[in-house]
């Protein structure tokens, strides 16, 4: 059975695809019927049981390929459960899923509210502002040229394959830059604060408006996901609050309507005068603490076994 261990995950993918198809069909939507994956689009294979067709002992032994040299960026901690070999932009990567005990950080009484945005990536309730790196915007001109080069090449030719490879490398570079920034930021926030308050945003809906490109470039969903699992692993408390009116309310509770172009908050009731995003972060933290605004809020308490 060891010769067929990598085929188990293929069957799981097919089963998951058809279950999702019938679930959408039952909800009244009109989903497309699952299609066969083209040979060029099937870029990964998973060995569901470590050691059964795949083993890492100095070198990676893969069923049917033998021993292959690997570059380990850091030591593997915990018990390896599955091994996935992935091809991305002409390069090969090994993804190891491991099982290990959570690493609980020392207790911290510090609290912070985070307001994500587009002009700056995030504003914190303590007045700090995180600049938005905009990785897509930085290489958008290069991407446009690479996409035109692919369009000019004849389909099936070697020159088209080379042009596609160049385009894939640019997209992979953007993803790596965005992921590295989000990992560093989420790690620093979890290390400093015991309570982290964020908005429960509908990012998918926001990505369908006129600012779709900027929202996608910011990558709020992936950042919040990284923040959530890092907080759970460290034993921190992550609180998601209703985002309604966070930018139109003062910390004193007064309503301060503002247009999107107005970036400064000036409250006529209490006289507070601060950047708009910083005040929004303070309101988010206030809602997480006391629910003073009266809106619904969801509190997620991270537990570590």
Residue 237 a catalytic site member: no
Residue 151 burial by CB count (10 A; 0-12/13-18/19+): exposed, middle or buried? Answer: exposed
**Which residue is catalytic, options 262, 277, 297, 298?**
277
- Confirm whether 199 is a catalytic residue: yes
User: Burial level of 242, CB count in 10 A (0-12/13-18/19+)?
Assistant: middle
112 beta partners = 196
Query: Using CB atoms within 10 A of its CB, is residue 236 exposed (0-12), middle (13-18) or buried (19+)?
Result: buried
Residue 267 contacts by C-beta under 8 Å, 6 or more apart in sequence?
250, 252, 254, 256, 273
Structure tokens at 190: 């979890």
State both tokens at 108: 């911290």
Q: Rounded to the nearest 10 degrees, what angle do helices 220-234 and 158-192 cross at?
A: 40
| Active site (annotated) includes residue 262 | no
> Which residue of the set 67, 115, 168, 298 is catalytic?
115
Report the distance separating Cα 181 and Cα 179, nearest Å.
5
Marked catalytic residue, from 79, 140, 199, 237: 199
Catalytic residue IDs? 115, 199, 277
């Amino acid at each position: 059975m060891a010769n067929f261990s990598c085929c188990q995950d293929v069957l799981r993918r097919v089963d998951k695809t058809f279950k999702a198809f019938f679930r959408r069909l039952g909800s009244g939507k009109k989903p497309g019927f699952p299609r066969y994956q083209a040979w060029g689009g099937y870029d990964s294979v998973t060995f569901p049981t470590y050691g059964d067709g795949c083993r890492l002992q100095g070198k990676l032994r893969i069923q049917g390929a033998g021993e292959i040299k690997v570059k380990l960026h850091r030591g593997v901690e915990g018990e390896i459960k599955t091994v996935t070999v992935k091809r991305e932009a002409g390069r090969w990567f090994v993804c190891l899923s491991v099982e290990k005990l959570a690493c609980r950080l020392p207790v911290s009484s510090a609290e912070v509210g985070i307001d994500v945005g587009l002009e700056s990536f995030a504003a914190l309730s303590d007045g700090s502002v995180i600049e938005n790196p905009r990785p897509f915007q930085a290489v958008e001109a290069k991407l446009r040229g690479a996409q035109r080069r692919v369009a000019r090449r004849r389909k099936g030719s070697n020159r088209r394959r080379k042009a596609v490879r160049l385009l894939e490398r640019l997209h992979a570079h953007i993803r790596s830059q965005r992921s590295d920034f989000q990992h560093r930021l989420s790690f620093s926030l979890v290390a400093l604060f015991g309570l982290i308050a964020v908005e429960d945003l509908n990012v998918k809906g926001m990505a369908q408006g006129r600012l779709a490109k900027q929202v996608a470039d910011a990558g709020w969903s992936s950042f919040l996901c990284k923040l959530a699992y890092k907080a759970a692993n460290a034993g921190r408390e992550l609180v998601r609050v209703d985002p309604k009116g966070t930018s139109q309310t003062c910390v004193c509770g007064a309503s301060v309507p503002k247009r999107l172009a107005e970036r400064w908050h000036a409250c006529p009731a209490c006289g507070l005068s601060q950047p708009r995003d910083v005040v929004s972060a303070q309101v988010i933290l206030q809602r997480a603490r006391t629910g003073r605004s009266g809106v619904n809020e969801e509190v997620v308490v991270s537990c570590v076994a």
